[in-house]
Amino acid sequence: MVDKEVRVIGAGLAGSEAAWQLANSGVRVKLVEMRPLKSTPAHHTCEFGELVCSNSFGALSPDRAAGLLQQELRAFNSLIINTADKFAVPAGGALAVDRSKFSCALTETLSNHPLIEIKRFEQLDFPSKENITIIATGPLTSDELSYKIKDFTGINACHFFDAASPIIYGDTINQEIVFKASRYDKGDPAYLNCPMGKNDYIQFRNELIEGEQANLKDFEKESANFFEACLPIEEIARRGVDTMRFGPLKSIGLWDPKWGDLYDKENRLKKRPHAIVQLRKEDLEGKLLNMVGFQTNLKWSEQKRIFRMIPGLENAEFVRFGVMHRNTFLESPKLLLPTLQFMKRENLFAAGQITGTEGYAAAAAGGLLAGINASLLAKGKKTVSFPSESMIGSLMNFISNRNKIMSNQKKNKFQPMPASFGLVPELNKRIKDKRLRYKAYQERSKEALNVFKRKLDSCFEKDHILVEIY
């Protein structure tokens, strides 16, 4: 057993996983959870790892991004995924759980661990310099601590509301329709543009206005009111027939040479498409594309249906749908290393949704990495980062390293990101068939993790066990 104790703040998915990894490696843990003394606006119980909305961890199959992430977590003895497997309910191809049994089992396992001390109070103070601490207080971090985090990180490095546009896979757009250009040909052609005729536009607008909205919780409605500057696209559409055309869908100054005499290049003001939807690269290669100005509160199924009406996006596949909700998250690329340590303070870690990952398994992945590294630090060893070929590694790289890979740093504000194959490095050889490509990603992750696990086990002075479950 190690002398040093690690404090984990927040017993959600990330904090529970971190505490488990620490305790299992022989490190004493103080796990601080404010519920039930104080609850968040979304939690209803006092159990650990409460799933506040859906009971699904996403696709189960490892040739899908969510499934691969789950597989990798299993390989590292994740408490969250092992417990989810134990209390799984039938859900087609997804891993869904009996939420009550899942959280009760987590609470029981952690409460019974001899190296974990549970403390039920709201952490009000910022963690002291002396202790190793993991902040895992999630998207609904309590106000007092949020302000302290904001003071520590700086005013622009902590966000409280997430209004994000959908992100789509670059290889699912119709290249025959979509064209590359920057407005007035300024600089490199940085945008991909989807031109719309008048009829397309009118129909699209009608569907947007009629589209079914996601229910905002009361606390989110309050936050959303402060967000006039970042209106949902359907609200812009509602304000007038042409409001979108004078806003995010304006077509002026955008030109595709292949139009020839269909439009008049010299006199673009008069003859040009009725509207243009712009897509901006999220990564250098353009594997992920952001729909510019399309933050939305439409239901996800409606986003898929309506946004596929845009010419060129008929077969678009979505990495992440647009959202507008309360979400406390850090501008992680400015603050965190891929080890999840703060650049400013090596014994302070962040994990879970507060770091800008999205989804239950992604939160567990952050907890797993922060737990492993806090344990290494407590033992006086060097911290590690996961290989970028793995889904865990590419997610952590994305949140900690994003400025380096951004094509357009000024315009791309950091936004939370779920697991996606768009984040993993390209393969050495191009595989066109998507299923085969995903399978190759899976194989490559397995190999990289076997090497990584050997290194990790030698750090922990354990016998190496191969990653066997793929």
Ligand X SMILES: Cc1cc2nc3c(=O)[nH]c(=O)nc-3n(C[C@H](O)[C@H](O)[C@H](O)COP(=O)(O)OP(=O)(O)OC[C@H]3O[C@@H](n4cnc5c(N)ncnc54)[C@H](O)[C@@H]3O)c2cc1C
Could you list the residues that contact ligand X (CB under 6 A)? Answer: 9-15, 32-35, 40, 42-43, 52-54, 122-123, 136-142, 145, 217, 352-354, 359-360, 363
C-alpha to C-alpha distance for 300 and 320, rounded to whole angstroms: 9
Peptide bond before residue 36 is cis, with ω within 30 degrees of 0: yes
C-alpha to C-alpha distance for 65 and 290, rounded to whole angstroms: 19
CB of 138 to ligand X, least distance (A): 2
Cβ distance to ligand X smaller for residue 43 or 305: 43
Cβ distance to ligand X smaller for residue 35 or 74: 35
Cβ distance to ligand X smaller for residue 55 or 278: 55
CB of 37 to ligand X, least distance (A): 9
Cβ distance to ligand X smaller for residue 25 or 40: 40
Q: Roughly what angle, to the nearest 10 degrees, separates helices 434-459 and 65-75?
A: 20
CB of 353 to ligand X, least distance (A): 4
Q: With left for phi above 0 and alpha for psi between -120 and 50, is residue 399 left, alpha or beta?
A: alpha
CB of 179 to ligand X, least distance (A): 35
CA-wise closest residue to 19 among 140, 109, 129, 90:
109
Reading the block at residue 63, the tokens are 């040739």
Cβ distance to ligand X smaller for residue 164 or 363: 363
CB of 332 to ligand X, least distance (A): 13
End-to-end CA distance of the chain: 32
C-alpha to C-alpha distance for 387 and 424, rounded to whole angstroms: 10
DSSP state of 336: B
CA-CA distances (angstroms) from residue 183 to 32, 186, 256, 278, 301?
51, 6, 11, 10, 31
36-39: long-range contacts, CB 8 A cutoff, minimum separation 24: 36/120, 37/120, 37/121, 37/122, 38/122, 38/142
C-alpha to C-alpha distance for 284 and 340, rounded to whole angstroms: 23
Reading the block at residue 13, the tokens are 């998915």
Strand partners, 195: 276
Cβ distance to ligand X smaller for residue 2 or 216: 216
CB of 451 to ligand X, least distance (A): 29
Cβ distance to ligand X smaller for residue 69 or 292: 69
CB of 97 to ligand X, least distance (A): 12
Asked whether the beta carbons of 327 and 219 are under 8 A apart, the reply is no
- Where helices occur in 262-324 by DSSP H, the ranges are 300-307
C-alpha to C-alpha distance for 62 and 58, rounded to whole angstroms: 11
Cβ distance to ligand X smaller for residue 57 or 169: 57
CB of 308 to ligand X, least distance (A): 23
Cβ distance to ligand X smaller for residue 76 or 255: 76
Q: Name the closest residue to ligand X (Cβ).
A: 12
Cβ distance to ligand X smaller for residue 33 or 389: 33
CB of 24 to ligand X, least distance (A): 18
CB of 160 to ligand X, least distance (A): 12
**What backbone phi and psi angles, to 5 degrees, belong to 342?**
-70, 140
CB of 162 to ligand X, least distance (A): 10
Other residues' Cβ atoms within 10 Å of the Cβ of residue 126: 16
Cβ distance to ligand X smaller for residue 141 or 339: 141
